Amino acid sequence: MRPSISRQLVLWLAVPLSLLALCGALVHYFNSIAPVVISSDRRLKDAASAVMIHRLPSPDAVLYAVRDGQGRLIEGDARLAPVTVNGDSGTQIAIAQIEHRNVRTLTTRFDSPAGPMLVTVADVRSAGEPAARYGLLSTLLWDFVQLDLTLVLVWVGIQLGLRPVKRLREEIAARSPQDLRPIDESSVPREIAAAVVTLNRLFTTLRSSVQAQQQFIQNTAHQLRTPITGLQAQLELLIAESAALPVKNRLLTLQEGIRQLAHSANQLLSLARADPTVNIATKNQTVALEAIAAEVVARFFDRALQSHIDLGADIAAVSVHADASLIDDLLSNLLDNALKYTPAGGTVTVSAGSKDGKAHLSVEDSGPGIPEEHRERVKQRFFRLPNSPGHGSGLGLAIVEEIARLYGATVTIGAGTGGSGGGTRIEVRFP
């Protein structure tokens, strides 16, 4: 469980405040009972002296009992039990119970002509200790009520004081991973200003790092595509030469290998561009899916004709917030896979539109289909179905999955809708 600052602050305040309340109640208790006890002891001493000189006090104020050295009652109230006087002081203070009531007693030993005598007096008006105990309990109760109210007010104050922190947390949580704008430092309290400054510095560093990585990918793409394109052009010219007829088959094989190399390099670069860490600083915008779908279909039309595949489109106007080049890569890889695995005479259909309020792109073919047990695995990098034709790299659907994940979209793979039950339909549904 993660620690809570507000909870820790309340706990740190609750413990010392509780101890202070307890100490205050104890001080109040002793301050209340001490004068009562001192006054009661003074009255008891005066009463004992009066008994000893036979000037007895009023019986409704003080009870007394005179006993001989063996504890036999000579006169007075028999309810006062005998008390043994120890020590050299000759007096003993004790608590006796009379009629279910605790009273304070004073026993004094003195010598008389008849021998040593014990005089015990009890102040029946001495109700100071019960009252003081009641006062202690009432004080404790009120102090802890005040403590509870204080902690509630402290809790409310802490919650109000932490509102800027909560607002900052909500602002950061509401941002997308691509939003690296600096946080407005003028609207945060001084206590967290240093953290915000550090966070803005991190955003700046991360933005610079991502831009550098994007620039590296662009440079790499240029450096790879330029020589590969030149090599392909030179091979086409060489194959057309009559002097190359003896090795034409080898040159055609080399040309196919270079074409595969160019395709794999483009796929690797697309996969790198689809990485979320690279796309943090991507400038997303409203993209018309129907326009991208039409462009991609037109780009692959000649290839479909050469492969004797019927390439069609079912496109409706719909838009998403994304990077147009990444959406182009996504659809291009779907269409490339569909054309690669659809036999001559088959059909491939590209669809774009809105379903249940969500934008979607889909490509359906009449090829052999993808077994249900492999439909999740084909989204993994470098995985190819057993006995797959050609020399693919197994990156096409991995690129589609990465780009879809970047925009919170889902990729579903199912069977085609043709009557034979074969084929594959891959749909990307955007949130």
Q: Which two tokens stand for residue 141?
A: 């109760």
Where residue 387 falls among pLDDT bands split at 50, 70, 90?
A: low
pLDDT > 70? residue 120: yes
Annotate 187-241 with DSSP letters as a single string: GS-HHHHHHHHHHHHHHHHHHHHHHHHHHHHHHHHHHHHHHHHHHHHHHHHHHHS
Instruction: Give residue-wise pLDDT tens across range 274-317.
Output: 666 555 545 578 888 899 989 999 988 998 899 899 998 888 88
Which position has the higher pLDDT, 76 or 366? 366
Contact 79, 63 (CB under 8 A): yes
37 pLDDT above the threshold of 80: no
Higher-pLDDT residue of 424, 380: 424
Q: How many residues does the chain have?
A: 431
pLDDT above 70 covers what percent of the chain?
79
Q: By mean pLDDT, which of 4-13, 53-62, 216-225, 261-270 is the weakest?
A: 53-62
Residue 256, SS3 per DSSP:
helix
Q: Does domain 283-429 have CATH number 3.30.160.270?
A: no
Q: What is the pLDDT of residues 408-429, one digit of tens each?
A: 888 888 887 764 557 888 898 9
- pLDDT for res 158: 79
pLDDT of residue 202: 86
Question: 144-181 pLDDT, tens per residue?
Answer: 788 778 888 888 877 787 788 888 888 888 776 667 77
Q: Using CA atoms of 118, 119, 123, 129 in order, give the dihedral in degrees to the nearest 10.
A: -20
- Per-residue pLDDT averaged across 212-223, rounded? 67
Residue 358 has pLDDT above 50, yes or no: yes
Q: What is the pLDDT of residue 419?
A: 47
| 122 touches 64 (CB < 8 A) | yes
> Which one, of 217, 201, 206, lies nearest residue 177 by Cα?
206
Cα gap 1→248, rounded to integer Å: 71
CB 196 within 8 A of CB 188: yes
Question: For residue 94, what are its two tokens?
Answer: 């004790």
Share above pLDDT 90 across residues of the chain, in percent, rounded to a whole number: 3
Indicate the domain borders of the chain: 5-148, 176-282, 283-429
* pLDDT tops 80 at residue 388: no
Strands ordered across the beta sheet of 347-355: 310-315, 347-355, 358-365, 424-429, 410-415
